[in-house]
Amino acid sequence: MDQDQRAPAAASGSQNLRTRIMAALVLAPAAIAIAWTGGPLWIALVMLAGIGMYVEWLTIVGAAQEKQTVAAGIAALVVSGLCLAFGYGALSLAALLTGAVAVAAVSRRLRLWSVAGFCYAAAAAFASAQVRLDGDYGFVALMFVLFVVWAADIGGYFAGRGIGGPKLWPRVSPKKTWAGAVGGFAGGLAVAAGFAAFDLGRLAPLMLLAALLSIVSQSGDLFESAVKRRFGVKDSSQIIPGHGGLLDRLDGFVAAIVFAALFGFLRGDADGIGHALMVW
């Protein structure tokens, strides 16, 4: 590439970065404010995000034209959200399981991919709600997961662009490098250090948890890239300026929050997931 070609590419990259930053500066504070509020408002947000991810997934795999498949999944997510809002966690989970069966029953083609998309979106929404529902530690635990994911994303982006080097998995994600993966990992550890700054006794376990979340988050990013590459799609949509679609923006968070919810549930219980994540 000669100098004349490099200049427009650099300008385009700089413009894209500015767009990404501006979108993040608007969306991140809004998400944090709603998470702080919690309750039905947070549940509504995560269920709407789940619906958006489900529709984007169906669009990627080529099943969005099956209206009954779309409707079955959306209906299940809405019912699940209403159950959670009224405090019926078991019914919410039952609604999602019923939804997966319904999606499988009404799908005419790409049944496994459609069910996988519903399960992906449902797990993300349910886990996000369950972590926040812990009244004492839910918000802190949710912020911990969010900040680790964001730090991994930011650290990976700048380390990958600034250092470059060998590709991480070029067949799946041509732009991701090992330097970016290490930068993302370091970003997650920095978040853990910040959370443990006033309680050094938590430093080791929180850094271990952040390390796991960073790896899981980056794996979630690669998973979504693999799905898109399988179906020849670049972005899941263009709903978020500079970021693409909800799946593009939330892929790492989906993997991390589901892992965190499972980890917290196994270490504690369904009502104390946030406590189990943050108190050691």
pLDDT for the residue numbered 277: 95
pLDDT for the residue numbered 9: 45
Q: What integer is the mean pLDDT of 55-60?
A: 96
- For residue 231, how many other CB atoms are within 10 A of its CB? 12
pLDDT above 90 (res 156)? no
Question: 243 pLDDT band (50/70/90 cuts)?
Answer: low
The predicted-structure confidence for 71-130, as pLDDT tens digits, reads as follows 999 999 999 999 999 999 999 999 999 999 999 999 998 999 999 999 999 999 999 999
Q: Which residues are CB-contacts of 177 (< 8 A; sequence separation ≥ 6)?
A: 159, 160, 163, 164, 165, 166, 167, 168
pLDDT above 50 (res 7)? no
- Which of the given ranges, 31-40, 150-159, 232-241, 263-272, has the highest pLDDT on average? 31-40
pLDDT above 60 (res 39)? yes
In this structure, what token pair is assigned to residue 14? 């700089």
Q: Which residues are CB-contacts of 197 (< 8 A; sequence separation ≥ 6)?
A: none
SS3 content of the chain, % helix, strand, coil (to 5): 80, 5, 20
pLDDT above 70 (res 4)? no
Question: 5 pLDDT band (50/70/90 cuts)?
Answer: very low
In this structure, what token pair is assigned to residue 276? 């189990």
Q: What integer is the mean pLDDT of 34-57?
A: 96
Q: What integer is the mean pLDDT of 132-145?
A: 94
- Which residues pair with residue 173 across a beta bridge? 169
Q: Which residues are CB-contacts of 210 (< 8 A; sequence separation ≥ 6)?
A: 144, 148, 188, 189, 191, 192
The predicted-structure confidence for 107-124, as pLDDT tens digits, reads as follows 998 999 999 999 999 999
Q: What integer is the mean pLDDT of 15-38?
A: 85
- Which residues pair with residue 67 across a beta bridge? none
Question: 13 pLDDT band (50/70/90 cuts)?
Answer: low
Q: Which residues are CB-contacts of 4 (< 8 A; sequence separation ≥ 6)?
A: none
**What would the 3-class secondary structure string for 220-247 be?**
HHHHHHHHHHHCCCCCCCCCECCCECHH
For the chain, the residue count is 280
pLDDT above 60 (res 12)? no
How many alpha carbons lie under 13 Å from residue 99 in its C-beta half-sphere?
30
Q: Share the mean pLDDT of the chain.
A: 89
